[in-house]
Structure 1
């Protein structure tokens, strides 16, 4: 289902997926782990163990480029962490959502592994 359907953490004005067009947020957080060069490596299995250790539940799913060679980049674990929130994020403004997202990354102890490009305005959609 995830590979054939789009899933978003926000709704967008005029259905144009751009950070500045985000007008409401769903009650989930989505984080990309890309295991890029010159970054600490987090395997999919280690991430599952990490969330179990924290006693937190999340959907951890491979991305479409998981274990696939990308240009000069090797085949590495690439995946997404999708975790629900207990309260609705519907009425948050984009800046507040980003702040919540960044605080969550620190709380989850995954800041060293997050694909920074996935946090910019253009990818607030994923």
Structure 2
């Protein structure tokens, strides 16, 4: 198994069963972008994801994206507490396998979210999901 396949498998396993909560909940989809050598810019993300070049792009920190998912609250039930642990593990897997992690939010209302980082080979890998914000 190549490093790329291994990372994609780790991301798939860590995100399995987890949803990105918003007005609609969406799963996480691992991806791998090979051969991207130039720095990731808003324009490059739009090109890689086949969005129109005039789409709005916002960047946020990984910690901001998961801010409400990795904090255990006193009112959480057992399932919610278990999910907090799974989200913490997901963040840990991302941080230990990807460098230079960036989070891009593309669009308005129905927003495509891409968590992207470099892997050892220099290729880019990460997770894609969606959030709905009205």
TM-score w.r.t. structure 1 length?
Answer: 0.29
Q: Which has the higher strand share?
A: 2
